[in-house]
């Protein structure tokens, strides 16, 4: 259980922390950059970050279900906070899946063509999904860390 909890916590920190950095720190910093250079940088940032998100998703699912079924007695044995975490986690995973397979692929192609307008529109979609997932992630962390005391 201890190892699973550590893996679960670290995977959440990587994913949510990465989104926080990208949205709150990097995005405003790049506003002054020329559009094509900004888009190229985002391409490289996401190209490096998204494999970590996929690893985090796998680690979260494996460690979470391990704890639920092998340490906590299944879903009937867990508190409301775990059910909320489970729901918000799956919403986040679904949103990331959509982000990765739809606007991200279109964004890559547009940046490679130097189509600034299309790439900018796809980046705006990515930004909204990241913001939604960031809020859900922060709520999930708050619920996870406080829920056992409700």
Spell out the domain ranges in the chain: 2-149
pTM: 0.95
The mean of the pLDDT values for the chain is 97
Structure tokens at 21: 């950095």
CB 150 within 8 A of CB 32: no
Distance CA 48, CA 115 (A): 22
Quick one: average pLDDT of 130-148?
97
Query: What pLDDT is recorded for position 75?
Result: 97
Distances (CA, A) of 30 to 75, 114, 115, 136: 44, 18, 18, 24
Query: What pLDDT is recorded for position 92?
Result: 98
CA atoms within 13 A on the CB side of 84: 17
User: For the segment 69-128, what is each residue's pLDDT rounded down to a tens digit?
Assistant: 999 999 999 999 999 999 999 999 999 999 999 999 999 999 999 999 999 999 999 999
């Amino acid at each position: 259980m201890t190892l699973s909890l550590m893996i679960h916590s670290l995977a959440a920190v990587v994913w949510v922390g990465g989104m926080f950095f990208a949205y709150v720190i990097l995005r405003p910093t790049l506003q002054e950059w020329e559009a094509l250079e900004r888009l190229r940088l985002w391409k490289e940032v996401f190209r490096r970050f998204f494999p970590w998100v996929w690893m985090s998703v796998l680690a979260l699912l494996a460690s979470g279900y391990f704890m639920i079924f092998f340490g906590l007695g299944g879903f009937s044995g867990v508190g409301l906070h775990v059910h909320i975490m489970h729901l918000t986690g799956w919403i986040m995973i679904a949103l990331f899946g959509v982000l990765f397979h739809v606007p991200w692929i279109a964004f890559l192609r547009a940046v490679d063509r130097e189509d600034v307008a299309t790439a900018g529109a796809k980046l705006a979609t990515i930004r909204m999904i990241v913001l939604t997932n960031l809020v859900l992630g922060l709520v999930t962390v708050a619920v996870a860390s406080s829920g056992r005391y409700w």
